[in-house]
Amino acid sequence: MVTIYHNPRCSKSRQTLNLLQENGIEPNIVLYLETPPDTKTLQDLLAKLGISARQLLRKGEQAYKDNELGNAELSEAQLIAAMVANPKLIERPIVVKGNKAVLGRPPENVLELV
């Protein structure tokens, strides 16, 4: 089973979904802006991605600036809480298969999962 955390308004997310479908995969689609991941889910995704919460943040979002998330003293838990509260901060798309996940930036990254 493959899952994509998807934002249909994002071109990279659409390209990643299309690439999966072109490879015969119909993933479970999570519209994460409508059904945001909770803290445990985000922690699990970060572990599968092998990255820190800071690396998953979209630094260009207004909420990043408004919440001063560039502050190096913020903990992993504080950054995760910010993403739970404002899912627009989550980099996208995230594709998960089993115990591994990749960011679809560039979309071709997902090919290592298929």
Q: Of 4, 7, 8, 10, which one is the catalytic site residue? A: 10
Does 25 participate in catalysis according to the annotation?
no
Taking the C-alpha atoms of residue 68 and residue 28, their distance in angstroms, rounded to an integer, is: 33
CB 107 within 8 A of CB 12: yes
> Would you please indicate which residues are annotated as catalytic (active-site) residues?
10
